[in-house]
Amino acid sequence: MGSDTRYESAIADKNGASTRAQNRPYYTPVGNEEAVFRAAYRQGLSIVLKGPTGCGKTRFVEAMAHDLGRPLITVACHDDLTTADLVGRYLLRGDETVWVDGPLTRAVREGAICYLDEVVEARQDTTVVLHPLADYRRQLPIERLGVTLDAAPGFGLVVSYNPGYQSVLKDLKDSTRQRMVAIEFGFPAPEIEESIVAHEAGVGRETAAALVRFGQAIRRLETGGLREVASTRVLIAAGRLTAEGLSLGEAALAAIAGPLTDDATVGRGLAEMIDVYLDTGTGAGD
């Protein structure tokens, strides 16, 4: 790898489209997650990122892949995902059948970091292919080709899931979990979240602080009829709307309350909270 490409990371989707980022993806650490990731990666251990939606898991992997100078290959898992989708398959090209590597195989050959997003969505018979890769063997058996690949140096396996959200039935198999080092994500401390919201939404510190205060009030509600609490992502979205001139209240209603619930009563409760916390008339440009 040439020195000028060392700090590039390729983020490729399942179809192989990829974009390259020269600059470090913006990520502010919340705890010791960067140190744990680096240590696990250097030791060839696989990593599971656990945490609620919108708390920075994907952004974190992008930043780490960049720091480690490895390409990043991301696969969004879903319940139709097959082993062939991950490993590869024979495809008909003209009158020839050719083998096409799947994203996992590409990562194994290239020594990339393979990130399986929402891994519990995939069926367990699909995820067993990860076992020999996730432990000391670091091997990928490809049955259709009758070969077993040794992972190239630099290969890393990272999976993520949201423990609060998926059903127990779909929980990760114990034999898969115990092959991985876990990093738990929560929401950042208020000062950190304020700087994230300010940076990502391009709003002033006061607007960011007001949104974070409101987000935290929602997170303090015991359950309040919400399946998920307000994530950093929705606070950023609200900030973006204020940057376009909407008031804080309007922005929070559209970007925070709306996405969180369809229930009319719960929605009214959130609207009242918005009146209390945010309807101060402050919008963009504080």
Ligand X SMILES: Nc1ncnc2c1ncn2[C@@H]1O[C@H](COP(=O)(O)OP(=O)(O)OP(=O)(O)O)[C@@H](O)[C@H]1O
Q: Which residues of this chain interact with ligand X, rule CB under 6 A? A: 26-28, 30, 51, 53-59, 162, 188, 196, 200, 232-233, 236
Which residue, 83 or 162, is less far from ligand X as judged by CB? 162
Cα angle 107, 111, 116 (rounded to 5 degrees) comes to: 40
On the 0-12 / 13-18 / 19+ scale of CB atoms within 10 A, 14 is: middle
**Looking at 58, 74, 126, 242, which residue binds Mg ion (CB under 5 A)?**
58
Query: With CB cut-offs between 5 and 8 Å by kind, which of Mg ion, ligand X, none does residue 54 bind?
Result: ligand X
Query: With CB cut-offs between 5 and 8 Å by kind, which of Mg ion, ligand X, none does residue 59 bind?
Result: ligand X
Which residue, 151 or 236, is less far from ligand X as judged by CB? 236
Query: With CB cut-offs between 5 and 8 Å by kind, which of ligand X, Mg ion, none does residue 200 bind?
Result: ligand X
Least distance in Å: CB of 4 to ligand X?
26
Distance between CA atoms of residues 177 and 182, nearest Å: 8
Query: With CB cut-offs between 5 and 8 Å by kind, which of ligand X, Mg ion, none does residue 71 bind?
Result: none
Distance between CA atoms of residues 36 and 13, nearest Å: 26
Least distance in Å: CB of 100 to Mg ion?
26
Query: With CB cut-offs between 5 and 8 Å by kind, which of ligand X, Mg ion, none does residue 114 bind?
Result: none
Which residue, 75 or 273, is less far from Mg ion as judged by CB? 75
Which residue, 52 or 269, is less far from ligand X as judged by CB? 52
Please check whether residue 140 is in contact with residue 81, taking contact to mean a CB–CB distance below 8 angstroms: no
Angstrom CA distances, 285 to 202, 208, 254, 274, stand at 10, 11, 19, 19
Indicate whether 207 belongs to the interface with Mg ion (CB under 5 A). Answer: no
Distance between CA atoms of residues 113 and 154, nearest Å: 7
Least distance in Å: CB of 135 to ligand X?
25
Segment lying near Mg ion (by CB under 5 A), choices 20-28, 56-64, 216-224, 242-250: 56-64
Which residue, 162 or 176, is less far from ligand X as judged by CB? 162
Closest CA to 281 of 235, 239, 246: 246
**Region for residue 158 given its phi and psi (left: phi exceeds 0; alpha: psi -120 to 50; beta: otherwise):** beta
Least distance in Å: CB of 222 to Mg ion?
26
Distance between CA atoms of residues 88 and 71, nearest Å: 19
**Residue 19: CB partners within 8 Å, gap ≥ 6?**
10, 11
Q: What backbone torsions phi and psi does residue 106 show, to the nearest 5 degrees? A: -60, -45
Which residue, 60 or 155, is less far from ligand X as judged by CB? 60
Binding residues (CB under 5 A) for Mg ion: these are 58
